[in-house]
Amino acid sequence: MNNLHKDSLDIEKAAPILTVDNLTVDFTTDKGTIRAIDGISFEVMPGETLAIVGESGCGKSVSSLSIMGLVPSPPGNIVDGSIKFNNRELIGLSEKEYRKVRGNDISMIFQEPMTALNPVLKISTQMVDVIRLHNKVSKSQAKERAIKMLETVGIPSPESRIHEYPHQLSGGMRQRVMIAMALSCGPDLLLADEPTTALDVTIQAQVMSEMVRLQKQLGMAVVLVTHDLGVVAESCQRVVVMYCGQIIEQAPVNDIFANPKHPYTQGLLKSIPVVRERKISRLPTIDGVVPDLLDLPSGCRFTDRCQFSEDRCRTNRPQLSGTSTHQVACFNPIGGM
C-alpha cells in the first residue's frame, strides 16, 4: 500500500500535474467536420478535484478521452494543442508508451460500469491483469493487492466477491470495482467520466462520498466530468464550465455557485432540480436549444439563447478573461468582472 501514498507528500508544490493547452479535436462525419473541442486550456493541481461541467455534446467527455489518448482515430483527430502530464507531452506518444501511462499515472472510470468491465472475466482476473501490467509482482501478490483495493472502496467480503463476474454485482458495486481497478496502481490523476450518472440517488451518495474519501486518503488529483452541478458542489474545488466545445467560465467552486459570471452558468445553476420550500409555478429554464456543431454562430456560441445578447456578441467571439482564479468568456459578465 505504501506506493499508493507516493505523491501525498508533494501536494504542496505549486506546479500543475496536468496542463492542457489550446486542445482542439475534430471529428469527421458524413455531413462534414465537427470541431468537438475548440481550443480549451486548463490546469489540474496535484491533489485537487476539478469538475468539467456541461450538457450533452459540449465536449466534456472528449476532453477526458483526449487526455487518456482514447479518442478514436478516425473519425477523431487532435488537430492542435498540447497535453502535458508532469511536464511530459502526451500527444504524439506511441500506443506502447501510452499504455504505460494509462492505469499507472492516469486512470479513468466510465459512466456505465457494465460496459467498461469485461463480462466474461472474473473480477480477480481483470484486476490482476491491470496490476501485473504495471508492476513486477506475482499473481498471488497481485491478487492480495486487488482484495485490499476492493476493501478500500467499501466492498463487503472482498475475498469472495473477487471471484464473481460483473453481472453478479449490482450497479453500485460494479462502479466500486471500477474505482478499485482504476486506483490499484496508485495513479496521480483519476479521470471520472460521469461516474454516478447511471446509479440511483442513494447509491450515488455512497459512491461519491467513497470517492471523496479515497481522494483525500490517497492524495491524487481527480477530474470529475459531469452534468450534475449538485454533485460538483459537494465534492469539487474548482469548476470548468463548457459550452459547445469551448470553456466559457472557470472558477473555484464557491465563486461559481455564489457569483456565476456567464449567463449560461447562471442558467444551468437555476435549472438544477432541487426540493424547494414551496412549489413554484414555473421552473426556470434556458430558452432554446444547443446549436448544431455543424452550424455554429460566428460570435459567442450562446448568443441565441442569451437574454443579454447584443450586436457584438453575434459577430465577435469573447475570449476567456478575468482574475487569476475566476475567468469568463463573455462581453457582459453578470455583475461585471
Partner 1 sequence: MSDILLEVKGLKKHFVVGKNFLKRHRSVCKAVDDVSFTIKKGKTLGLVGESGCGKSTLGRCVLRLHDITDGEVSFDGVNLFNLAPKELKELRRDIQIIFQDPFASLSPRMTIHDILREPLDVNKIGTVNEREAKIAEVMKIVGLRPQVLNRYPHEFSGGQRQRVGIARALVLEPKFIVADEPVSALDVSVQAQVLNLIADLQEKKGISFLFIAHDLAVVQHICDDVGVMYLGRMVEKAPAETLYKNPKHPYTRALLSAIPVPDPTYKSDKIQLQGDVPSPLSPPSGCTFRTRCPEATERCKEEVPMTHDVGVDGEEHLVACHLYR
Binding residues for partner 1, rule: CB under 8 A, are 55-56, 156, 170-173, 200-206, 208-209, 227-234, 253-254, 257-258, 267-269, 271-276, 278-286, 289-290
**Which of 34/185 has CB closer to partner 1?**
34
CB of 95 to partner 1, least distance (A): 33
Rounded to 5°, angle at Cα 143 from 142 and 149: 90
Report the distance separating Cα 330 and Cα 313, nearest Å: 8
Say how far apart CA 34 and CA 28 lie, in whole Å.
Answer: 6
CA dihedral (86, 91, 97, 102) positive or negative: positive
**Distance (Å, whole) CA 334 – CA 337:** 8
Task: Pick between residue 102 and residue 176 the one whose CB is nearest to partner 1.
Answer: 176
Query: Which residues have a Cβ under 8 Å from the Cβ of 285 and sit 6 or more positions away?
Result: 267, 271
Q: How far is the CB of 159 from partner 1 (least distance, A)?
A: 18
Question: Would you say 92 or 288 has its CB closer to partner 1?
Answer: 288
Terminal CA-CA length for the chain:
46
Nearest approach, Cβ of 19 to partner 1 (angstroms)? Answer: 25
Cβ distance to partner 1 smaller for residue 106 or 173: 173
Q: Smaller CB distance to partner 1: residue 85 or 110?
A: 110
Q: Which residues pair with 108 in a beta bridge?
A: 191
Rounded to whole angstroms, how far apart are CA atoms 101 and 91?
A: 12
State the Cα–Cα distance between residues 184 and 181, nearest whole angstrom: 5
CB 67 within 8 A of CB 106: yes
d(CA 54, CA 269): 11
Strand segments, DSSP code E, in 86-131 are 88-89, 106-109
Q: What are the backbone dihedrals phi and psi of residue 34, each rounded to the nearest 5 degrees, phi first?
A: -105, 135
Instruction: Give 156 or 335: the residue with its C-beta nearer to partner 1.
Output: 156
Q: CA distances (Å), 218 to each of 6, 91, 102, 122, 244, in order?
A: 9, 27, 18, 26, 34
Q: Indicate the DSSP class of residue 156.
A: S
Nearer to partner 1, 97 or 234 (CB): 234
β-sheet bridge partners, residue 32: 29
User: Which is nearer to partner 1, 188 or 194 (by Cβ)?
Assistant: 194
Tell me which amino acid residue 315 is.
Answer: T
Q: What residues pair up with 117 in beta bridges, in sequence order? A: none
Which of 9/289 has CB closer to partner 1? Answer: 289
CB of 289 to partner 1, least distance (A): 6
